Structure 1
Amino acid sequence: MTAMTTARVPIPANGVDYRGKIVLAPMVRSGELPSRLLALKYGADLVWGPETVDRALIGTSRRVNPRNGIIEFTRGQGSIIYRIDPVREKGKLVFQIGTASPELAVEAAKLVAADVNGIDVNSGCPKPFSTSGGMGAALLRTPDKLVSILTALVDEVGKPFQIGISVKIRILETPEETKALVSRLVKTGITGLTVHCRTTPMRPRERAIRDQLRMVADVCHEAGVACVMNGDVTTRNEGLELMKEYGVDGAMIATSAEANSSCFRPEGGLLPWKDVVHAYLRICMETENRFGNTKYLLNMLIPSKEFHHSKSSKSYYDFCHVLGFDDLVPAALQVDEIMNLTHKSIFKNSAASQNQEPEGVDLSLPSQPTKQAVAV
């Protein structure tokens, strides 16, 4: 029986169907709000937020930033744990949770359920910060616990909030082991399953293994569950081709989106890095993104041979100045004031106090030749 003729698990009223979608993968730091909005701008159909551990979310308060309308989940003196754009992410956001407990998963998921379109359980992350607590890929070794988590989320969060529950896994060592696991997971009431085509010990530099992919898709389809592939998908067009080749319903892009989010463009072809960086910086300032996270992502979006021009930047004004984004300078000055970055600026403060550019810092734009580049 094919996926077209199999009865599908119903998609809840506030949920989203993963079928036919090219989506942004959940990535720690690289999946924060500005990165998600950038992916959506260039054509991503859905976006996954970064894995958020249940205990980190429990105890937070929900507030709306009055300046930009962003929903913020905060704790303590305003430490922001998670942010959502209720306009641009409406109908497109899947919240990924890190958990090893049905009870904690439900408690945490209920806090965000009304603002997202799906809850996805991370059972594929191989990093110690996740597996050491029995979360992430560690759940692949405790299938009973994983089943209980998914079942609890479906019954206590998915049904009352009318959103879908899904899971992201990795392939196991043998097709038989993977099939046995997937066969159990698709019976829990989930609407989607993403399979990362690498085993737990494998790292991103190792080529994805797709030998088990069609089998996983078949098991999902027999249960009416959408199957999304992950691993070495680099562009929207490549994802669509792989979906046809392996019979899966959707494709997830990770590292390629970190380098250039225009990989989601339906028309194909990557935009110049400077165009993407301009769009990213604008979004970061609109959303008042934490500066450290902005700089981290810019380090990936800007080619390494060019990033040394921006390495000394300590404020949004600095970035706009160095990159030549004069049109963004007014917004940069404003957001620097809001985020208490003005006094940290390398370029603005030095120019104001000394009426000259700071010594030892290369202010030339990346597109302009210089006599001597700053060493990094």
Structure 2
Amino acid sequence: MPRTDLMQLFSTRTRPLNVCAPMVRYSKLPFRELVRRYNTDIVYTPMILANVFSASNFARDCEFSTNRQDDPVVIQFAASNGVDLANAAELAAPFVSGIDINCGCPQKWAIHEKLGSHLMSDPETVRDMIRMTKARVNVPCSIKIRIHKDLRETEEFVKRALSVGVDFITVHGRTKKMKSTEPVSLEGMKFVKEVSTVPVLANGDVFTMEDANRIVAATGVDGTMSARGILENPALYAGYEITPWECIEDYVDLALSYGTNAFIFHHHLMYMFERTMSNAERRTFNSLSSVPSIVDYLEENYGLDISKKRGERAIRASVL
């Protein structure tokens, strides 16, 4: 089925775009549908290993599911070479609005496998990945990068990607060695925007709409991408300071409807309740280990009523 044209979305936007980042385990289909209800324009899948995705039908079924409402969605692949990436991209392209190359994951296992932020020191491989992928698919191809300590290296990296037609860039405003507790470099993100001839998204330290607006004002980027912030508050881009109860209800409804496993279901809710539960209540909630026990707890302590929620959703659908 036709998917949203991302490049048209960039060119016709009337405000900075709001984007949900790729998050290992967490940006699955129910969460993607949730954040779209709260003013998120583009949503990414979790990072997926390209070689495994292209080699195994079982892996494809486990790692990526979608539907008509899951649009626009960008699938993010981690790869160490152009062949693996292009093979995976060709399989995914009919079902997504874009293909993204992970050049930013700082985890040691990824660097050891020459994935993620390892690629920030190998711009030629990234150049080949973009070139080979664009030759095989007809959807935009983007990269998610970090900055270098020496921004001249970042400029060279970006220019090589531009030379083979990268369609847009997301820049995480930290080097691969910086901790997440260190503030992002607004100067670095602004620099990437200035040297790019394609749209640029800024990632890092987006926890509120105030943060997003401040970053856009300081850097001139075309939008912001949130990971930790939107995980804690999926209604972030709708202007909420903390996760509203309605959003939590929506997530429970979606997660149960799609059959989310207990680990992910529990952890999403732990993040959403992080700033509203007392320490004692959090200890009790965090000890729950099954979906039924979590639902029972929310019914008894928060008045969760999924039947009512689904009835309201059915009424809205009938009106539309």
Question: Is contact 2:142–2:166 with CA below 8 Å preserved after alignment?
Answer: yes
2:315 — aligned with what? none
1:302 — aligned with what? 273
1:227 lines up with 2:200 in the alignment: yes
Q: What's the TM-score once normalised by structure 1's chain length?
A: 0.73
Deviation at 1:248, TM superposition (A): 1.1
Question: Is contact 1:27–1:49 with CA below 8 Å preserved after alignment?
Answer: yes
RMSD of Structure 2 on Structure 1 (CA): 2.4
1:263 lines up with 2:236 in the alignment: yes
Q: 1:227, 1:207 → 2: CA distance?
A: 19
- Deviations 1:322-353, CA, capped at 9 Å, x for gaps: 01255227999xxxxxxxxxxxxxxxxxxxxx
1:16 lines up with 2:6 in the alignment: yes
Question: Is contact 1:317–1:329 with CA below 8 Å preserved after alignment?
Answer: no
Within-5 A mapping of 1:112-151:
112-151=92-131
Deviation at 1:311, TM superposition (A): 2.9
Bigger helix share: 2
- Deviations 1:177-231, CA, capped at 9 Å, x for gaps: 111111111121111001100000012111111112222112113xxx1111111
Q: 2:289, 2:165 → 1: CA distance?
A: 48
2:63 — aligned with what? 81
| Aligned AA (2:204) | G
Deviation at 1:273, TM superposition (A): 4.7
Q: What's the TM-score once normalised by structure 2's chain length?
A: 0.85
Question: Is contact 1:13–1:163 with CA below 8 Å preserved after alignment?
Answer: no
Unaligned runs of 5+ in 2: 11-15, 311-320
Deviation at 1:13, TM superposition (A): 7.9
Which residue, out of 258, 272, 275, partners 1:287?
258
| Aligned AA (2:180) | P
- The aligned length equals 296
List structure 1 runs of 4+ shifted beyond 4 angstroms.
329-332
Deviation at 1:61, TM superposition (A): 3.0
1:40 — aligned with what? 36
Question: Is contact 2:19–2:41 with CA below 8 Å preserved after alignment?
Answer: yes
Structure 2 SS opposite 1:307: helix
Q: 1:220, 1:258 → 2: CA distance?
A: 29
Identity among equivalent positions (%) equals 25
Q: 2:30, 2:52 → 1: CA distance?
A: 21
Question: Is contact 1:235–1:253 with CA below 8 Å preserved after alignment?
Answer: no
| Aligned AA (2:63) | I
Question: Is contact 2:266–2:291 with CA below 8 Å preserved after alignment?
Answer: no
1:218 lines up with 2:194 in the alignment: yes
1:53 — aligned with what? 49
